[in-house]
């Protein structure tokens, strides 16, 4: 027979915590349909640090845009995403191999505009045959 456990027994108080969650690293094939796996993990990280539903939705949107940009700009190899929650912020970082990078590509421009509207900060770099894209969603009310 299983026993129900109060959420406070699991270390979750229902509000923002001062704990670190992760890093959680996920490596997936460049298939946009697999974004839901990463979004689910990101939701769990955000919930663990006390994000509300609206902030969790922001994190999931950031994950989608980071993955989409890396899949579209990458060479068709695996994409690695790292998720970290700390204090009142979730960082989403992704990397993909690429022989070139076009920051003026319309798809990338759109992803960057979405990140500018949702993320607290973001950055992109192309170096050594790799595109790196990271974004942070912060709970500014904390």
Q: Determine the pLDDT at residue 1.
A: 36
- The continuous run of DSSP H or E covering 48 comes out as helix 35-48
- Per-residue pLDDT band at 141 (split at 50, 70, 90): confident
Residues constituting the chain: 142
The separation between CA 133 and the C-alpha centre of its own chain, rounded to angstroms, equals: 10
pLDDT in tens, 36-65: 999 999 999 999 999 999 999 999 999 999
* In the predicted structure, residue 97 carries a pLDDT above the cut 60: yes
């960057």: which residue's tokens?
A: 112
pLDDT, tens digit, for every residue of 98-136? 999 999 999 899 999 999 999 999 999 999 999 999 999
Mean pLDDT score of the chain: 86
């Amino acid at each position: 027979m299983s026993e129900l456990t109060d959420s406070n027994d699991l270390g979750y108080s229902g509000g923002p915590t001062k704990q670190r969650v992760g890093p959680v690293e996920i490596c997936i094939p460049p298939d946009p349909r697999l974004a839901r796996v990463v979004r689910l993990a990101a939701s769990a990280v955000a919930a663990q640090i006390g994000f509300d539903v609206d902030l969790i939705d922001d994190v999931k949107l950031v994950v989608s845009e980071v993955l989409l940009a890396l899949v579209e700009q990458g060479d068709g190899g695996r994409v690695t995403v790292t998720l970290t929650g700390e204090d009142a912020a979730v960082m989403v970082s992704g990397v993909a191999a690429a022989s070139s990078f076009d920051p003026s590509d319309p798809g990338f421009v759109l992803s960057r505009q979405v990140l500018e509207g949702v993320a607290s900060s973001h950055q992109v770099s192309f170096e050594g045959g790799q595109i790196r894209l990271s974004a942070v969603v912060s709970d500014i009310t904390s």
